[in-house]
Amino acid sequence: MKQYFLLLLASTAIIVACNNKDETKTSPASTSGNLKLPYTAGYTTDFSDNVSDEDLLLVLNSYKYWETADLKALRGTMGDSMVVDGATGFKFRGLTDSLMPKWTLSRDSLSSVVITMDAWRKNHTNKDSMNYITTWYKEIDTYKTGRVDSANYADINQVKKGKIIWYSSFKQKL
C-alpha cells in the first residue's frame, strides 16, 4: 500500500508541475483552512472530479488496446498530436502518426501484456478547465525472448475534446 501512496504523491506532483503559469501569490506559503502550508502550488490545487465517464472509458480503453495489441484502436484514442513523458525516459512531442511506429515496434517485441487496473481518479482543473485521468495499475510484459518484466505504474492522461493529448508514466519495478 505504501508504494501506491508514493505513486499517488508522484503523480500529484506532476499534475501540479505540468503547467508553470504564474498565479497571484500573497505569501511564500499557502493556507488550507487554519493550516499554513510550507509551499504554494505553482499550478493549482483546485480540482474536482467533473470529468465525463466517456473520457474515463476512452482512457481505460487505451490500456485495453495496448494489452490486446490493437494499435489501430489505440491510435483512435489519441489526438492528432501527443506529448509523452514515458516511465523509461522516453520523450515525445509531435504528431501522433509519428509516435505510432515507435509504439508499434515496442509492442511487437512483446508476446503478451497483462494489465491489472488497481484504481483511477478523474481530475478536472477548475482554473483552466483541463481534464486528467490518473491510473494506477500492475503490468506484466512477456517478451518474445521469454524475459518477463513486471511493474506497478502510475500514469496521468490528459484528455481534451474526447482524445488523449498528454500521457505521463511513472514505473516502480517489482
Average pLDDT over residues 138-142: 98
Domain extent listing, the chain: 47-173
Question: pLDDT digits over 2-57, tens only?
Answer: 444 344 444 554 554 454 444 444 445 676 778 999 999 999 999 999 999 999 99
User: Where are the alpha helices (H) located in the chain, listed in sequence order?
Assistant: 2-17, 53-67, 71-76, 96-108
Altogether, the residues listed in the chain come to a count of 174
* Distance of alpha carbon 77 from alpha carbon 69, whole angstroms: 14
Q: What is the pLDDT of residue 128?
A: 93
- pTM for the complete prediction? 0.81
What is 47-173's CATH number?
3.10.450.50
